Amino acid sequence: MGLTLEDVAQRSGYSQATISRVVNNSAGVSPEVRSAVEKAIKDLGYLTRRSRAGAAAEQVIEVILHRSGGVEQIDAGAKGVAVGPLVDASPETILTPQWHLGNDFHLRILNGIVAEMKVRGGKAQLQFTSDLSSPALVQTLSKGTAPVLLVGEGGEGLEQLLARCRRQVVLVDMLGDLGAHEAVTTDNLAGIGQAVEHLVSLGHRRIAFVGGGDLPANRERGDAFVYHAHRLGVELDPQWRDVHYDHIESTAERLVGLLGLPQRPTGIVCCNDYGALAVLRAAGRLGVSVPRQLSVVGFDDVAMAALATPALTCVRVESEDIGRTAVRLLLSQRSGMAAHGCIVRLTPRLVVRESTAPPAG
């Protein structure tokens, strides 16, 4: 029988919740406690007690990257950032170098996964899907033994897929029913709070939010915006509260109407950097100067953010760390040391560049 949280708890004298935080590399554990728990794990012979077959199987994981709908190719050159037409998501439009700027966030997560598996002497097998309800995908996850990292958007079909899955799964940058599945994601409440606090500290009180539709993470960011806006005394006009983001060009067209209002917002927080790029494009078409007349904050800090004109102030998510942490959680789960429903949230940080300034006047 494999080592369990209870075994380590009895040996170290700390609670199972504390053991889980150490194993999952979560915050809130002192160096002394972490050292004591790690010593208990080593003393119990966690690694040496495994059979060769068990250890070998644990060093191979499957990674499934999900992106649905259309994607836009983004290029950066001397004239700034250019956005191409919408095309269907596919391995060719997600994983090839010419599409890097449009998919940088998830590619960095994959880099973190591969790097962590390399350190552990293992490998990650990658496949792409644009449909979580695909019969082939459902069949794949209903058999086999390799643990799975499910990376990407989530959304429709996720819960049905997980219900039929017979493998150990960790969700990466996606959320299912809270408490039902292990996941590694971003602390959206803290990240949006940093963005709103930054604009308020500059003097902004009329702030809009560009949201991301029905994806759980984007709903969290929208709810977080409303919470922090109320907390900090920000004016919430119904027209500004949640401007829908789907793609860069279509969102820019919608934003032209918002930014053309006589009483437009002086600052905008966006659910991601592509929404922020849409704001820059709409502002440019109307002759609205960023940041002199309008401040913009993105979220994620993908490579494109620093290449935009002006360079975007962003809430930076360490996406490679998300990938590394997901591997650790998955392997801890496989060994019986991760609590069921454990959700690890990594704290982002604000990166101030050129797209924010005090409001005019």
Looking at per-residue pLDDT, the higher value among 68 and 253 belongs to 253
Q: Residue 153 pLDDT > 60, yes or no?
A: yes
Distance CA 293, CA 273 (A): 19
Burial 190-223 (b: 16+ CB within 10 A, else e): bbbbbbbebbbebebebbbbbbbeebbbbbbbbe
Q: Residue 48 pLDDT > 50, yes or no?
A: no
Looking at per-residue pLDDT, the higher value among 262 and 295 belongs to 295
Backbone phi, psi, residue 316, to 5°: -85, 125
Which of 14-28, 170-184, 219-233 ranks highest by mean pLDDT? 219-233
Q: Residue 175 pLDDT > 70, yes or no?
A: yes
If DSSP codes are grouped into helix, strand and coil, which group holds residue 300? strand
Beta bridge partners of 296: 268
Domain 188-317: homologous superfamily in CATH: Response regulator (3.40.50.2300)
Q: Residue 44 pLDDT > 50, yes or no?
A: yes
Tens of pLDDT, residues 251-290: 999 999 889 888 899 999 999 999 999 999 999 999 999 9
Q: In the prediction, which pLDDT does 3 show?
A: 58
Least-confidence region, from 1-15, 88-102, 250-264, 281-295? 1-15
CA torsion through residues 98, 99, 104, 109, sign: negative
Model confidence band, residue 53 (pLDDT cutoffs 50, 70, 90): very low
Q: In the prediction, which pLDDT does 28 show?
A: 64
Q: In the prediction, which pLDDT does 69 show?
A: 78
Distance CA 49, CA 2 (A): 8
**For residue 92, which amino acid is it?**
E
Query: For 254, what's the count of Cα atoms within 13 Å in the CB-facing half-sphere?
Result: 17
Q: In the prediction, which pLDDT does 47 show?
A: 44
Domain boundaries, the chain: 5-49, 60-185+320-345, 188-317
Q: Residue 60 pLDDT > 60, yes or no?
A: yes
Tens of pLDDT, residues 305-333: 999 999 999 999 999 999 999 999 998 87
Which of 84-88, 143-147, 168-172 ranks highest by mean pLDDT? 168-172
Q: Residue 29 pLDDT > 80, yes or no?
A: no
Tally of residues, the chain: 361
Tokens of 204: 């902004």
Considering the domain delimited by 5-49, tell me its CATH architecture.
Orthogonal Bundle (1.10)
Q: Residue 72 pLDDT > 80, yes or no?
A: yes
Question: For the residues 142-162, what does the mean pLDDT come to?
Answer: 87
Q: Residue 54 pLDDT > 50, yes or no?
A: no
Model confidence band, residue 337 (pLDDT cutoffs 50, 70, 90): low
Q: Residue 250 pLDDT > 70, yes or no?
A: yes
Q: Residue 77 pLDDT > 80, yes or no?
A: no
Q: In the prediction, which pLDDT does 297 show?
A: 98
Least-confidence region, from 4-13, 132-141, 267-276? 4-13
Q: In the prediction, which pLDDT does 205 show?
A: 95
How high is the mean pLDDT of the chain? 86
Neighbours of 28 (CB within 10 A): 7
Give the domain 60-185+320-345 fold: Rossmann fold (3.40.50)
Fold equal for 60-185+320-345 and 188-317: yes
Neighbours of 255 (CB within 10 A): 25
Model confidence band, residue 184 (pLDDT cutoffs 50, 70, 90): very high
